[in-house]
């Protein structure tokens, strides 16, 4: 045992740098794996805990009085056992707001605002949690409560004053508190609930045209039984629910999507880094056995068993792994906390900080890494069993290996192809690559992985930042300007159309609205989907041409006629429908039999939506005029800002316009902020790992060839030329790896990542490929490999030819 202990300490002392680098590699592998597991676990746990704490709703109903009597619906749900319903909360819809005293924000002005007539707290469903300001039963007069999702994103605090407009008049209210509002508090907000004092609500909206709408939250004791409740609702009411409904899946999706994406990337790359670490350990042990073959033979001849020789390697790397895993686990808690808090910041309050769970699982990850290291060491160190003392002492290798080498040298002498006419630097570099094939494979693998990681990060960030180019593939239109009507009584569509179409800068215009569509579960009784809950989803209506405004489909085409409909991929999946099938849909209480002409994807509502032409709704409502948004295309999109300013000045009392780019920027602002940090961390980690491993591997190769390099120096070859030749060989390998990495990062990894987004309504991840940036990031991998190789060869410059030859 003392011999094992002594040899282990000798190996640790002799290869301090190399052992330290392997320790760092194990640390980083542990960090990525533990962080990814912690992020995925806590994303779900934190959301679930807050949802339970606030008695969050599983479904949110929005009711008018045209299709259902809100009071009857509320009464029916109050009578159901196993369901808790909120109060029926009146609200009015406004468009955008301003933060007084600060620069105007086009992102804030594009938000859809639900101005709530706040009932007295506490609430049975969707209780509000206070993050800033004094907790009260209801807002005081002249004040509002603002959700954290908007306050944190746009730097609004308690005490700020916000401005609103009804189209007829402007008014201001002071933020008295910032609250967590679960149903409308997710990241990437496009709509938000503003909680008003009842007196303010009456004063501002009594004179406003239109009627109150109502919201009501439903919380089920067993959410899986909601289907049976809705079937009973349809029987009792004599018709399916036709108004708008948000499901738990829709409310929770944007809380979870970013961290699930980040967690997946990290767990994938963590496993890749772990494999690289194991390959490096295996390469190091194999090389050590070959390099010290004669020494091992002598030790075995003196009586040390093969089992104890294996124990030397096992003890050495187990000690390194244990020392590396502990700080990796500690660091993962900090990194995980940072990522989770940045993506779920809307759930964070000043009083209750986000505390991460899953320490035991993180420890299990550490144990898993340790077991992998031990198994790897056992596998590769088992080669020491095959060392025969007599052969080792005589040949310095096995007899079979010596015979193979002799035949190889003889073959080289008779080989017609040689490096005789190649430049000396190229010969030395290529010889180093070909002689150390395992090391060369490891270097190429590293640069492949590093370039793939860097390219993937760049492609994702560039694609999200350049969403304007791929907006139709995310489910948006590609028009240049969006106009929203704020006051229908003061707005004339006929006059607007006449004025806007006479402008030579305008290419075309389309008017958009939406209704809530319903597919009754009765229609599915004879299919395998007979237990599907009646589907309520938004149906977009367009007076114009979908194709002209840039809307696209994955299969088929957009609807044009009164008997056609295009549906989102999740609607198609749930209904088991495809292009050419018939769908029975209720629109505004009327039944329509529509042919599916296309299937499309949309991130905005998880592809739970559909598209129809205005002719469909006009079959029963010839005077339909529910359009609230106009999408305008320009002949030259550089005129967008000028046209927007002119429209806002001319129609300031009835409508507001905003450039489409501004709307998209507001939507993706938080996505970019959430992605850039973890992708940067992973890019830096893999860059550091690449430099570390290539440095370590090159040092091993140089140590094995020290006598050869001593001879080179003694006959007049300078250290710089030797180092350049070695670096050149590494650059050739890294170039091959970088090319493969580009293909993996651009084509393979996005497809794997896209599988996660399929549940969120995106079947094909829209990418914007900037090849200049892609090649630049791939070059970073090549440069890192070159730096690692150059740094490792510094020992050649420092050592004299005599010492190298002696070694």
Predicted model pTM: 0.74
**CB-based contact 113:192 (threshold 8 Å):** yes
Q: Output the CA–CA distances (angstroms, integers) from residue 147 to 111, 144, 180, 328, in the order listed.
A: 13, 10, 6, 36
SS3 (DSSP) at 382:
helix
Domain shared by 483 and 347, yes or no: no
pLDDT exceeds 50 at position 167: yes
Domain closes at, from 626, 644, 666: 666
pLDDT exceeds 90 at position 291: no
Run of H or E residues at 555: strand 555-556
Kindly state the average pLDDT of the residues 689-701.
Answer: 79
Distance CA 75, CA 620 (A): 30
| pLDDT for position 137 | 92
SS3 (DSSP) at 594:
strand
pLDDT exceeds 80 at position 203: yes
Domain shared by 507 and 374, yes or no: no
Domain shared by 512 and 369, yes or no: no
Give Cβ neighbours of residue 658 (< 8 Å, ≥ 6 apart).
Answer: 106, 109, 110, 481, 482, 484, 644
| pLDDT for position 600 | 93
Give Cβ neighbours of residue 360 (< 8 Å, ≥ 6 apart).
Answer: none
| pLDDT for position 417 | 46
Q: Which two tokens stand for residue 318?
A: 């187990």
Residue 371 lies in a domain: yes
Tell which wins on pLDDT, 490 or 143.
Answer: 143
Residues in the chain, overall count? 807
Give Cβ neighbours of residue 13 (< 8 Å, ≥ 6 apart).
Answer: none
Tell which wins on pLDDT, 742 or 658.
Answer: 742
pLDDT exceeds 70 at position 376: yes
Q: Which two tokens stand for residue 637?
A: 């999109």
Distance CA 378, CA 161 (A): 67
Distance CA 502, CA 220 (A): 55
Domain shared by 511 and 383, yes or no: no
Residue 349 lies in a domain: yes
Distance CA 567, CA 788 (A): 53
Domain shared by 376 and 498, yes or no: no
| pLDDT for position 597 | 94
Distance CA 114, CA 514 (A): 17
Tell which wins on pLDDT, 61 or 269.
Answer: 61
Residue 359 lies in a domain: yes
Q: Which two tokens stand for residue 95?
A: 């468009």
Distance CA 807, CA 801 (A): 10
CA atoms within 13 A on the CB side of 253: 19
Domain closes at, from 647, 666, 685: 666
Q: Which two tokens stand for residue 51?
A: 């949802």
Tell which wins on pLDDT, 693 or 745.
Answer: 745
Give Cβ neighbours of residue 638 (< 8 Å, ≥ 6 apart).
Answer: none
Domain closes at, from 388, 411, 445: 388
Domain shared by 496 and 597, yes or no: yes
Alpha helices in 502-610 (DSSP H): 569-575
Kindly state the average pLDDT of the residues 747-766.
Answer: 80
How many helices (H) and strands (E) in the chain?
27, 22
Give Cβ neighbours of residue 40 (< 8 Å, ≥ 6 apart).
Answer: 259, 260, 263, 264, 267
Residue 486 lies in a domain: yes
Domain shared by 516 and 661, yes or no: yes
Give me the number of domains the chain comprises: 2
User: Taking Cα atoms as reference points, which of 121, 83, 118, 114 lies closest to residue 217?
Assistant: 83
pLDDT exceeds 90 at position 205: no
| pLDDT for position 94 | 83
**Most confident of the ranges 306-320, 608-622, 647-661:** 608-622
Domain shared by 491 and 592, yes or no: yes
Least confident residue range of 385-399, 645-659, 699-713: 385-399
Other CB atoms closer than 10 Å to residue 567's CB: what's the count?
A: 35
Bridge partner residues of 397 (DSSP) = none
pLDDT digits (tens, 9 = 90+) for 612-630: 999 998 888 787 777 878 8
Residue 171 lies in a domain: no
Interstrand relation of 143-147 and 98-99 (parallel, antiparallel or unpaired): unpaired
| pLDDT for position 35 | 82
Q: Which two tokens stand for residue 568?
A: 């989102």
pLDDT band at 650 (very low <50, low <70, confident <90, very high): confident
| pLDDT for position 5 | 59
User: Taking Cα atoms as reference points, which of 752, 740, 777 lies closest to residue 261?
Assistant: 752
**CB-based contact 536:509 (threshold 8 Å):** no
pLDDT > 90: percent of the chain: 16
pLDDT band at 800 (very low <50, low <70, confident <90, very high): low
pLDDT digits (tens, 9 = 90+) for 147-159: 988 888 888 888 8
Alpha helices in 415-436 (DSSP H): 424-435
Q: 258 is in which domain, residue-wise?
A: 1-53+250-388
Give Cβ neighbours of residue 366 (< 8 Å, ≥ 6 apart).
Answer: 30, 34, 325, 326, 328, 329
**CB-based contact 37:271 (threshold 8 Å):** no
Q: Which two tokens stand for residue 595?
A: 């042919």
Kindly state the average pLDDT of the residues 267-285.
Answer: 78
Kindly state the average pLDDT of the residues 587-599.
Answer: 87
Average pLDDT, the chain: 80
Residue 304 lies in a domain: yes
pLDDT digits (tens, 9 = 90+) for 336-363: 777 777 666 677 776 545 566 667 888 8
Give Cβ neighbours of residue 672 (< 8 Å, ≥ 6 apart).
Answer: 461, 464, 465
Place of tokens 């290291």: 373
Residue 636 lies in a domain: yes
- Can you point out the beta strands (E) in 235-303? 244-247
Residue 521 lies in a domain: yes
Tell which wins on pLDDT, 488 or 591.
Answer: 591
pLDDT digits (tens, 9 = 90+) for 486-537: 666 677 888 888 888 888 898 989 998 877 777 754 444 444 444 455 577 7
User: Taking Cα atoms as reference points, which of 80, 115, 79 lies closest to residue 97?
Assistant: 115
Longest dimension (CA), the chain: 104
């Amino acid at each position: 045992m003392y011999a094992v202990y002594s040899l282990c300490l000798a190996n640790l002392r002799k290869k301090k740098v190399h052992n330290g680098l392997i320790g760092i590699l194990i640390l980083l592998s542990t960090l990525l794996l533990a962080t990814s597991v912690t992020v995925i676990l806590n994303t779900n746990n934190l959301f679930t805990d807050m949802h339970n704490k606030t008695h969050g709703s599983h479904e949110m109903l929005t009711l008018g009085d045209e299709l259902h009597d809100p009071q009857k619906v509320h009464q029916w749900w109050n009578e159901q056992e196993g369901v808790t319903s909120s109060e029926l909360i009146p609200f009015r819809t406004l468009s955008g707001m301003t933060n007084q005293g600060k620069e105007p924000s086009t992102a804030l002005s594009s938000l859809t605002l639900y101005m709530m007539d706040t009932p007295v707290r506490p609430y049975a469903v969707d209780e509000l949690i206070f993050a800033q300001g004094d907790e009260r039963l209801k807002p005081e007069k002249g004040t509002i409560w603002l959700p954290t999702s908007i306050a944190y994103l746009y730097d609004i605090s308690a005490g700020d004053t916000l401005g609103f407009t009804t189209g007829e008049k402007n008014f201001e209210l002071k933020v008295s508190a910032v609250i967590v509002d679960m149903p409308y508090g997710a990241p990437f907000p496009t709509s938000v609930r503003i909680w008003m004092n009842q007196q303010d609500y009456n004063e501002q909206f009594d004179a406003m045209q239109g009627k109150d709408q109502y919201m009501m939250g439903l919380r089920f004791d067993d959410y899986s039984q909601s289907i049976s409740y809705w079937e009973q609702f349809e029987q009792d009411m004599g018709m399916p629910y036709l108004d708008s409904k948000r499901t738990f899946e829709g409310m929770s999706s944007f809380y979870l999507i970013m961290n699930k994406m980040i967690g997946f990337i990290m767990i994938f790359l963590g496993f890749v880094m772990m494999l690289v670490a194991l390959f490096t350990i295996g390469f190091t042990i194999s090389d050590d056995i070959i390099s010290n073959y004669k020494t091992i033979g002598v030790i075995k001849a003196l009586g040390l068993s093969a089992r104890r020789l294996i124990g030397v390697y096992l003890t050495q790397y187990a000690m390194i792994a244990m020392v590396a895993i502990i700080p990796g686990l500690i660091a993962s808690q900090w990194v995980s906390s940072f990522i989770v808090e940045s993506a779920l910041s809307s759930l964070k309050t000043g009083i209750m900080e986000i505390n991460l769970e899953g320490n035991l699982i993180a420890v299990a990850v550490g144990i898993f890494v340790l077991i992998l290291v031990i198994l790897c060491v056992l596998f590769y160190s088992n080669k020491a069993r095959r060392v025969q003392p007599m052969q080792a002492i005589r040949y310095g290798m096995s007899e079979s290996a010596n015979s193979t080498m002799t035949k190889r040298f003889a073959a080289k002498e008779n080989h017609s192809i040689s490096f005789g006419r190649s430049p000396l630097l190229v010969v030395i570099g290529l010889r180093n690559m070909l002689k150390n094939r395992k090391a060369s494979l490891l270097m190429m693998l590293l640069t492949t992985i590093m370039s793939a990681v860097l390219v993937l990060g760049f492609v994702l960030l560039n694609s999200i930042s350049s969403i304007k180019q791929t907006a139709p593939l995310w489910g948006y239109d590609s028009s240049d300007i969006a106009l929203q009507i704020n006051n229908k009584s003061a707005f004339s569509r006929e006059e607007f159309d006449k004025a806007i179409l006479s402008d030579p800068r305008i290419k075309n215009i389309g008017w958009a609205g939406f209704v809530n569509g319903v597919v009754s579960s009765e229609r599915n009784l004879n299919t395998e989907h007979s237990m599907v809950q009646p589907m309520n989803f938004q149906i977009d209506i367009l007076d114009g041409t979908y194709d002209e405004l840039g809307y696209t489909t994955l299969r088929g085409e957009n609807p044009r006629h009164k008997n056609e409909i295009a549906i989102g991929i999740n609607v198609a999946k749930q209904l088991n429908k495809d292009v050419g099938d018939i769908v029975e849909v209720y629109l505004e209480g009327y039944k329509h039999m529509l042919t599916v002409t296309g299937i499309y994807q949309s991130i905005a509502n998880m592809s739970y939506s559909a598209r129809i032409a205005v002719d469909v709704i006009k079959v029963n409502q010839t005077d339909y005029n529910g359009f609230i948004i106009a999408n305008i295309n320009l002949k030259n999109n550089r005129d967008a800002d000028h046209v927007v300013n002119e429209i806002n000045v001319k129609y300031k009392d009835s409508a507001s316009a905003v450039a489409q780019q501004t709307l998209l920027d507001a939507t993706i602002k938080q996505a970019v902020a959430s992605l850039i940090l973890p992708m940067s961390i992973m890019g830096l980690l893999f860059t550091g790992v690449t430099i570390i491993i290539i440095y370590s591997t090159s040092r091993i190769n140089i140590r094995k060839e020290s006598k050869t390099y001593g001879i080179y120096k003694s006959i007049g070859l300078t250290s710089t030329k030797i180092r350049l030749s070695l670096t050149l060989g590494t650059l050739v390998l890294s170039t091959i790896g970088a090319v493969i990495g580009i293909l993996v990062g651009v084509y393979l990894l996005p497809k794997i990542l896209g599988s996660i987004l399929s549940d969120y309504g995106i079947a094909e991840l829209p990418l914007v490929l900037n090849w200049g940036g892609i090649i630049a990031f791939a070059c970073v991998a090549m440069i890192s490999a070159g730096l690692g190789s150059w740094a490792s060869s510094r020992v050649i410059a420092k050592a004299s030819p005599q010492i190298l030859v002696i070694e």
